[in-house]
């Protein structure tokens, strides 16, 4: 009896892979939601420079600290960077360890012609690209929190020649993020109804709509920053002054 019990205990599978899956899913969900929120925030430039400036100051805590505290942006960027690195390393567990394994997965995928497996390949490729592209972007924001604004951001994109990186990063983020959130829903059955197959088809449509929506929004936003940066190329380093502040300064001069 003791021998059987010991044998069963020896055969007991580790729960660590399952726990790591939870951490990977949780970190992916945080990053996916952050991606959408970040895109909506930076797209505020499409409303106006003043609106983008106001949004920037809000995240710097201007409602608590006069003029804002850019260090808050650094702190949040550091948190996202940690989650980003953790998620990347957890995701690497499931990547092929060598070319032979990759070839087997590729051949199996081609034989089965399974769409979700193809999505996994896209997610793996874009995730690998994001590890480098995203790290650069987050590090710049983390170390230069005071260089965010209509002019500062546009100058970095245009005069700083960051726009090629942002094009690649935008493509990688939107495909990786929407595929990842779709696979999370399928994996954990968050929206499963009476007919899981029908639900999966609906989720794929939602995924496609979201991908196109954020790609269009992202490239439109990037184009706006490039246009501002191009127009402002001769005054790189100049800080943006919102129109309300300009009016206030003019009034002060007239009174004086």
Neighbours of 55 (CB within 10 A): 19
CB 174 within 8 A of CB 211: yes
Neighbours of 254 (CB within 10 A): 7
- Residue 87 annotated as part of some ligand binding site: yes
Q: Is 232 annotated as a binding residue?
A: no
Cα dist. 68→49, 62, 162 in Å?
Answer: 17, 4, 26
CB under 8 Å, gap of 24 or more: what pairs does 93-101 form?
93/20, 94/124, 95/124, 95/128
Distance, in Å, from the CA atom of 138 to the CA atom of 77, rounded to the nearest integer, reads: 6
Binding site for heme b: residue ranges?
A: 38, 87, 137, 176
Binding site: residue ranges?
A: 38, 87, 137, 176
């Amino acid at each position: 009896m003791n021998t059987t019990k010991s044998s069963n205990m020896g055969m007991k599978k580790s729960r660590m892979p399952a726990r790591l899956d939870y951490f990977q899913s949780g970190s992916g969900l945080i990053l996916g939601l952050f991606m959408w929120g970040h895109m909506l925030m930076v797209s505020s430039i499409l409303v106006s420079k003043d609106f983008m400036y106001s949004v920037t100051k809000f995240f710097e805590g201007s409602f608590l600290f006069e003029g804002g505290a850019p260090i808050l942006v650094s702190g949040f960027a550091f948190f996202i960077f940690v989650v980003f690195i953790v998620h990347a390393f957890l995701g690497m567990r499931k990547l092929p360890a060598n070319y032979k394994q990759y070839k087997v997965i590729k051949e199996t995928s081609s034989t089965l012609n399974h769409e979700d497996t193809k999505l996994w390949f896209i997610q793996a490729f874009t995730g690998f690209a994001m590890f480098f592209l995203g790290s650069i972007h987050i590090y710049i924001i983390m170390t230069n929190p005071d260089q965010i604004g209509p002019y500062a951001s546009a100058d970095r994109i245009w005069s700083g020649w960051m726009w090629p990186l942002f094009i690649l990063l935008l493509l990688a983020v939107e495909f990786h993020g929407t595929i990842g959130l779709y696979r999370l829903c399928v994996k954990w059955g968050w929206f499963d109804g009476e007919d899981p197959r029908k639900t999966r088809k609906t989720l794929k449509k939602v995924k496609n709509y979201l991908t196109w929506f954020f790609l269009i929004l992202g490239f439109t936003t990037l184009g706006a920053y490039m246009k501002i940066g191009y127009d402002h190329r001769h005054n790189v380093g100049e800080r943006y002054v919102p129109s309300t502040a300009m009016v206030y300064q003019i009034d002060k001069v007239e009174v004086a």
